[in-house]
Structure formats: structure tokens, C-alpha cells
Amino acid sequence: MRRTSARIGDVQKGRGIMRKATITKKYLINCLKKYLVEYLYRPLTVRDIANYARTSTQPIYLNFSNMQNFKQAMVEDVFRDIHEAKKESVATLDPLYSFWHDYYVFASRNRALFFALFLNDIGCGPYIKERSFAYFQEAIAESAVFQCAQENDLRKYHEEALIFFSGLVLLFIREGCTDGNKDFIKDTMEYWERMLKKAKGVTRDHGRQGLLEVGTFAVEE
């Protein structure tokens, strides 16, 4: 009778069988995101995340081979949220511009998490760059604005832009102020105007007015 009562108590408190049923990969990833936001500068360990998720380390190791794999799975989940969520408001922007606007939209909802991933060091810097670059390649493949086609140039453009826009996003999204949408898009276009003017094959005839007309036909003045 005591054993049965204890079992019922465990279920009521979220432990035992009920707890095991809720420990999914998605749940653990969400816990890792929340932990990053709450404890930005603490080292990331499996034990600490398990304690935060109110579980043992076993579910983490069952879903992820190690802590690095766990962090990378979380990064992939974040990038799906950034770039694959449907955003009607920028559907007609050139993909080169909307790619960076996706970061702005995400940060407006998740400023602390954006900072943790893109400006703080959680040991996933190279992987974050690779995931961003993969989506960047998809975006420019459909872009009427982007002129460069060399693989080494693509990486250069992307890495420089990722640094620039990570800072720019947080400059706009500060202290809950998220009303700079049009200004952010304007700065995005001006940045690429400057960069693409330096690219091989871009002439003066494709200067500011030409680039803006191609990519911003749906942006209201």
C-alpha cells in the first residue's frame, strides 16, 4: 500500500512514469534554450541541463550522443524557427534582404536567446556559421540582387554580413523596442548596396537605385 501511494505521489509531482512520458527531444531542446536565456554566462553541462529540466542525465544521452550534439540540435531547431517560419510581411522582399530580416524577426521575439547564440560563445560558433551559410546559399540562389557566384566569395560575404547583422539586429531590438522594421530593412539594403558595388560584375549602372528597385518593390515609403 505504501509503495502504491508513493507511486501515485511521484506521478502527481511530475516524477516517475509521467515524467518519462514527457521527456522528448523537443522538450530537452526547449529546456536548453531557456537555460541559455536564464544563465547566459554559466558553462553548459549535461548535469546542469538535466537538473534544469528536472530529470536525470539519461534522457539527454538517449537523445543526444554528447553535449556538443545536444547544442547542435538546439542550433538546428533555432535556424528552422528563424528561416522556415512563414512571414507574410516580407514575402515580396528579395530573398537576400528577407534572409537578414528573418534574424530581426526572430530577435524581436527572442532577444536574449539571439544574443546567447550569435554574440556569446557557447562552443558552437563554427556550426552556427555553417547552418547560417546553408540557408544563405538557398536565399541567394533565388535573389535577383545578389551578383556574386564564386564559392569563396559567398563565404566571405556571408561571414562578414553575419557579424555585421548580428550587431545591427541587437542595436534595433533593445529594451523591448521593436518598431524599427522599416529602418532595419533600409539599412540592410544599403549594406548590400555597398558590398555588391565592390563585387566583380557589378557596374555603376547597378548602383543604389537599381539594387533598391529590384529588392524593395513591396516596401512602402
Residue 97 is assigned to a structural domain of this protein = yes
Stretch 198-207: mean pLDDT, rounded? 48
Read off the pLDDT band of 20 (50, 70, 90): low
Residue with cell 521575439: 109
Read off the pLDDT band of 87 (50, 70, 90): low
Are 71 and 120 spatial neighbours (Cβ–Cβ below 8 Å)? no
Residue 6 is assigned to a structural domain of this protein = no
Other Cβ atoms less than 10 A from the Cβ of 92: the count is 12
Residue 205 is assigned to a structural domain of this protein = yes
Are 148 and 154 spatial neighbours (Cβ–Cβ below 8 Å)? yes
Residue 83 is assigned to a structural domain of this protein = yes
Residue 48 is assigned to a structural domain of this protein = no
Q: What angle do CA 34, 40, 46 make, to 5 degrees?
A: 65
More confident residue, 14 or 173: 173
pTM of the predicted model, to two decimals?
A: 0.77
Residue with cell 544574443: 115
More confident residue, 28 or 154: 28
Residue 68 is assigned to a structural domain of this protein = no
List, for residues 170-183, the tens digit of each pLDDT value.
988 875 555 678 89
> Domain range for residue 117?
73-215
**Could you give the number of structural domains in the chain?**
1
Q: Which three cell numbers stand for residue 4?
A: 502504491
In DSSP terms, 177 is beta-bridged to 174
